[in-house]
Amino acid sequence: MADPINAAIKTVAAVTTQAYDYGSKVKHAKEDIENVNRELVQVGQVLEKLKALAERAEKAEKAGQSGQSLDAWPTLIELNADDGPLAKCNQSLLDLKSELAPVSSLREKLSQKAKWPQKKEKVEKSLRAIVKEKNVFLEMLNVDHISKEE
Q: What is the pLDDT of residue 118?
A: 85
Q: What is the pLDDT of residue 115?
A: 80
How far apart, in whole angstroms, are the C-alpha atoms of residue 91 and residue 96?
9
Return all residues near 27 (Cβ < 8 A) that are at least 6 apart: 113
Q: What is the pLDDT of residue 68?
A: 56
The domain ranges of the chain are: 2-149
Can you tell me whether residue 73 is helix, strand or coil? coil
Q: What is the pLDDT of residue 13?
A: 97
Q: What is the pLDDT of residue 60?
A: 78
How far apart, in whole angstroms, are the C-alpha atoms of residue 25 and residue 47?
29
How far apart, in whole angstroms, are the C-alpha atoms of residue 59 and residue 62?
5
Can you tell me whether residue 105 is helix, strand or coil? coil
Low-confidence ranges of the chain (pLDDT < 50): 150
Give this prediction's pTM.
0.85
Q: What is the pLDDT of residue 71?
A: 62
CATH for 2-149 (1.10.1740, 1.20.120, 1.10.760, 3.30.70): 1.20.120
